[in-house]
Amino acid sequence: MGVQNEAFLADALFQPIKLGKLELANRMAMAPLTRSRADDNLVPTDMVVEYYSQRASVGLIIAEATQVSTTAQGYTNTPGIYTPEQIAAWKKVTDAVHAKGGRIFLQIWHTGRMSHTHFQPDNQAPVAPSAIAANAKTYINGKGYVECSVPRELEAAEIAGIVDDFRIAAANAVQAGFDGVEVHGAHGYLLDAFLRDGTNRRTDAYGGSIENRSRFLLEVMAAVVKEIGADRVGVRLAPVSPVNDALESNPQPLFEHVVRELEKLHRCISTSSKATRAARATTRLSIMKRCAACTPAYGWSTTATPRRWPKRRFVVAVPTWFRSAAR
């Protein structure tokens, strides 16, 4: 890359950009980073307010992964967004960021089998698509790193309740002042575990075929979009990431299907110009080419991209909403 191109790109980073209905001050986004700074009730502390307000000058902050329910926790002192106290504490964070002119989304998750009985109500087993333990560890205060517990298989009748947990969490995030949410569908957590044949051995409507394994994620996305609007919703995917023992024998057709279905969902809930639709088609094609070419070194977000993927392989963690903004 020449000096002139580098200067152009550096200047472009600091230009404002429209993201859905939001005006961002620049084109830089802060990725969600687990901080484990909530109190024992999983309520964000004053330190969390300070942490995000210090970073409000970035165009968009995506705040740390936050539990949608009491069963969603997998790590020590990670925050929730399902109690009035948690909502009120997050409101202090969003107020502080907005006071400095920043914008902030909340990443919402369910850790699934990436958990331990220590974090579960009444020390129950964590939940997963199938009762397959992750070859991974989590951290418990006073005990250090421990192996994740063997999960129990979710009953099909329980899945609708978790879909609703995501919907309510998104509504709570908006109530807390967030500009939107990013659904965590990557890195071996519950939604990603349902996607992958290495972790999903079900024989019901949520297992087996690619269409069935994708069903849970797509139901969550549809519910969240319906609740708060498509322009406030993103999703994180990581097709070739081995993080947290996330195994899939054939990621390309799986994630081609997921991206196509997400595109259908987008078309169902919002309108777009002919130029934007063409750009999305180009984006989807480049996503698939990159999926085929990537080595499983780490994950990247498949649902958003600038107009072209860079030739060099590196981690991309840009949420889905940038796709409609990058014209």
For residue 114, the enclosing domain spans 9-325
At 298-315, the pLDDT tens digits run: 333 333 333 333 333 223
Alpha carbons 63 and 44: distance in angstroms, whole number: 11
Alpha carbons 271 and 19: distance in angstroms, whole number: 15
User: Pairing between strand 137-140 and 144-147?
Assistant: antiparallel
Which of the four pLDDT bands, split at 50, 70 and 90, describes residue 263? confident
Give the CA distances from residue 46 to residues 24, 62, 76, in Å, rounded to whole numbers and listed in that order: 25, 18, 18
Please report whether residue 2 resides in a domain.
no
**pLDDT value at position 40?**
96
Please report whether residue 153 resides in a domain.
yes
Q: Which of the two residues, 326 and 32, has the higher pLDDT score?
A: 32
* CATH number of the domain to which 88 belongs: 3.20.20.70
List active site positions.
Answer: 189
**pLDDT value at position 126?**
98
**pLDDT value at position 8?**
67
DSSP string, 204-240: STTSSSHHHHHHHHHHHHHHHHHHH-GGGEEEE--TT
Beta strands in the chain (DSSP E): 17-19, 22-24, 29-30, 60-67, 104-109, 127-128, 137-140, 144-147, 152-153, 180-184, 233-236
**pLDDT value at position 149?**
98
Please report whether residue 230 resides in a domain.
yes
Please report whether residue 3 resides in a domain.
no
At 94-141, the pLDDT tens digits run: 999 999 999 999 999 999 999 999 999 999 999 999 999 999 999 999
- As for how many domains the chain has, the answer is 1
Residue 248, SS3 per DSSP: coil
Lowest mean pLDDT among 50-64, 171-185, 298-312: 298-312
**pLDDT value at position 2?**
66
Residue 325: which of 60, 104, 148, 1 has the closest Cα?
60
Please report whether residue 4 resides in a domain.
no
Checking if the pLDDT of 323 tops 60, the result is no
pTM of the model: 0.83
Checking if the pLDDT of 216 tops 80, the result is yes
Please report whether residue 22 resides in a domain.
yes
Which of the four pLDDT bands, split at 50, 70 and 90, describes residue 173? very high
Give the number of other Cβ atoms within 10 Å of residue 147's Cβ: 12
Instruction: Report the chain's mean pLDDT, rounded to a whole number.
Output: 84
Which of the four pLDDT bands, split at 50, 70 and 90, describes residue 1? low
Question: What is the crossing angle of helices 210-228 and 156-175, to 10°?
Answer: 30
Percent of the chain at pLDDT > 70 equals 79
**pLDDT value at position 12?**
84
Which of the four pLDDT bands, split at 50, 70 and 90, describes residue 61? very high
At 136-169, the pLDDT tens digits run: 999 999 999 999 999 999 999 999 999 999 999 9
Please report whether residue 1 resides in a domain.
no
Please report whether residue 103 resides in a domain.
yes
**pLDDT value at position 277?**
42
Checking if the pLDDT of 324 tops 50, the result is no
Alpha carbons 47 and 96: distance in angstroms, whole number: 12
Percent of the chain at pLDDT > 90 equals 73
Residue 220: which of 209, 207, 234 has the closest Cα?
234
Cα angle 104-298-321, degrees, rounded to a multiple of 5: 30
**pLDDT value at position 16?**
93
